[in-house]
């Protein structure tokens, strides 16, 4: 079972998200805060980062990683993102890779992300959301 998450509103109008294991992030709609749409993009980028880490470190060395940039096309009429664009940027300038080795690394990274990124798997399929509203009296 997935860990339990929840959000709570702050007096200043921002929100805090918590997990049962102690993680925390602040979000909202004000300047300097991540919006829920931003968090969707961060989830996609973070998933690609974690999924690609082994392939990159195996080739470039421990502690190496990718910079992952995610954008999206927002459809205001439907209040939804209609697609995401993800760029995985790997700085291998110090590794002296041949063209063949660079192509192999690119293919391994792609394969690892395609296999292991739960967020990407979720976004590319229709994902129903069940909601229940409870009013405490």
Asked, for residue 91, whether it belongs to a domain, the answer is yes
Give tens-digit pLDDT for 117-135.
Answer: 999 999 999 889 999 999 9
**Cβ-contact 34, 21 below 8 angstroms:** no
In this predicted structure, what is the pLDDT of residue 107?
A: 97
Closest to 80 (Cα-Cα) out of 133, 29, 123:
123
25 and 80 fall within a common domain: no
pLDDT tens, position by position, 104-118: 999 999 999 999 999
What CATH number is given to the structural domain containing 86? Answer: 3.30.300.20
Check residue 90 and report its DSSP letter: E
| pLDDT exceeds cutoff 90 at 2 | no
Residues 114 and 93 in one domain: yes
pLDDT over threshold 70, residue 83: yes
The two structure tokens encoding residue 80: 């939804």
DSSP character for 125?
A: S
Give yes or no for a contact between 49 and 68, defined as CB atoms under 8 angstroms apart: yes
Residues spanned by the domain of 107: 35-124
Rg (CA), the chain: 18
pLDDT value of position 137:
94
Mean pLDDT over the full length of the chain: 95
Nearest-angstrom CA–CA distance, 83 and 73: 6
Per 3-state DSSP, what percentage of the chain is helix, strand, and coil (rounded to 5)? 35, 25, 40
Residues 60 and 100 in one domain: yes
Task: Say if residue 84 is in the same domain as residue 109.
Answer: yes
Q: What is the pLDDT of residues 13-71, one digit of tens each?
A: 999 999 999 999 999 999 999 999 999 999 999 999 999 999 999 999 999 999 999 99
Task: Name the domain count of the chain.
Answer: 2
Residue 1 pLDDT greater than 90, yes or no: no
Cα dist from 111 to 50, 51, 117, whole Å: 13, 9, 10
Q: What is the pLDDT of residue 3?
A: 87
- Helix or strand holding residue 136 (H, E): none
What is the arithmetic mean of pLDDT over 4-10? 96
Residue 133 lies in a domain: no
Maximum Cα interatomic distance, the chain, rounded to a whole number of Å? 67
Residue 65, helix vs strand vs coil: coil
């Amino acid at each position: 079972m997935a860990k339990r998450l929840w959000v709570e509103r702050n007096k200043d109008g921002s929100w805090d998200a918590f997990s049962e294991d102690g993680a925390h992030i602040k979000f909202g709609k004000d300047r300097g805060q991540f919006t829920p749409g931003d968090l969707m993009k961060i989830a996609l980028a973070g998933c690609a980062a974690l999924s690609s880490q082994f392939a990159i470190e195996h080739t470039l060395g421990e502690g190496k990683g990718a910079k992952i940039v995610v954008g999206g096309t927002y459809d205001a009429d439907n209040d939804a993102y209609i697609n995401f664009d993800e760029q995985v940027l790997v700085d291998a300038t110090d590794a002296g890779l041949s063209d063949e080795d660079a192509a192999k690394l690119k293919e391994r990274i792609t394969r690892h992300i395609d296999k292991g990124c739960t967020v990407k798997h979720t976004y590319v399929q229709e994902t129903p959301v069940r909601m229940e509203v409870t009013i405490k009296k």
